[in-house]
Chains A and B, each alone.
Chain A
Amino acid sequence: MLTSRGLGSELEVLAVGAEAVLLKGYFLGIKSVYKVRVPKPYRNPKLDLKVRRERTLAEAKHMISARRGGVNSPYILLVDPDAGVIVMEYIEGDLLRNILNSLPECKACTLLEHIGIMTGRLHNEGIVHGDLTTSNIIVCRCIGKPYLIDFGLARASEDIEDRGVDVHLFLRSLESAHFRVKDMAFRCFLDGYGKVVGEENLTKVVNKVKEIRLRGRYVEERRRHY
Chain B
Amino acid sequence: MKTIVLGVESTAHTFGVGIVKEREIIADTRYRYEPEKGGIHPREAALYFMNIGPSAISEALRSAGISARDLTGVAVALGPGLGPCLRVGATHARAMAAYLNKPLIPVNHAVAHIEVGKLVTNVKDPLIVYLSGGNTLIAAFNEGRYRVFGETLDIALGNFMDTFVREIGLAPPYVVNGVHQLDRCAEEGKELIDLPYVVKGQDVSFSGLLTAALRAVRRGVPTENVCYSVREIAYSAIVEVSERALAHTGKKEVLVVGGVAASKYLKEKFEAMTGSRGVELAIVPPKYAVDNGVMIAWTGLLAFKSGITVEPERAYVRQRWRLDDVDIPWFGQ
Contacts and interface: CB of A to CB of B under 8 A. Distances in A.
Contact of B246 (A18, A41, A180): A18
B320 A19 contact: no
A222 B244 contact: no
Contacts, number: 110
A67 B142 CA distance: 35
B228 to A, nearest CB: 9
Given A47-B232, A130-B201, A179-B143, A42 B154 contact: no
Contact of A169 (B135, B200, B243): B200
A40 B240 contact: yes
B248 A133 contact: yes
A43 B232 contact: yes
A217 B143 contact: no
A47 B243 contact: no
Interface in A25-49: 40-44, 46-47
B96 interface: no
A101 to B, nearest CB: 10
B122 to A, nearest CB: 24
B156 A42 contact: no
A215 B154 CA distance: 7
Contacts of A222: 320
A220 B323 CA distance: 11
Contacts of A220: 318, 320-322, 325
A47 B230 CA distance: 11
B273 A218 contact: no
Interface residues of A, number: 37
A216 B246 CA distance: 21
Interface stretch (B63-71, B85-93, B145-153, B293-301): B145-153
A169 B199 CA distance: 12
Contacts of A19: 240, 243-244
Nearest to A131: B201
B151 A18 contact: no
A44 B190 CA distance: 11
B288 interface: no
A119 B28 CA distance: 52
Interface string B248-268: 110000000000000000001
B201 A165 contact: yes
Contacts of B175: none
B236 interface: yes
A208 to B, nearest CB: 13
Contact of B272 (A42, A131, A175, A217): A42
A180 B248 CA distance: 18
A223 interface: yes
B327 to A, nearest CB: 13
Contact of B142 (A42, A97, A176): A176
Contact of A219 (B79, B249, B270, B320): B320
Nearest to B134: A217
A14 interface: no
B197 interface: yes
Query: Which of A46, A132, A153, A216 counts the most B-chain CB atoms under 10 A from its CB?
Result: A216
A130 B200 contact: yes
A217 B154 CA distance: 8
A215 to B, nearest CB: 7
A78 interface: no
A216 B233 CA distance: 21
Given A130-B201, A175-B147, A179-B143, 16 more contacts: A18-B248, A40-B272, A44-B232, A44-B236, A46-B192, A47-B197, A130-B200, A131-B244, A153-B201, A169-B203, A173-B248, A176-B147, A217-B80, A217-B137, A218-B322, A223-B319
Interface of A: 16-19, 40-44, 46-47, 51, 97, 130-133, 135, 153, 165, 169, 172-173, 175-177, 179-180, 212, 215-220, 222-223
17 contacts: A17-B247, A19-B244, A41-B272, A41-B276, A42-B235, A42-B236, A44-B232, A47-B197, A131-B200, A176-B140, A176-B147, A177-B249, A179-B143, A217-B134, A217-B137, A217-B320, A223-B319
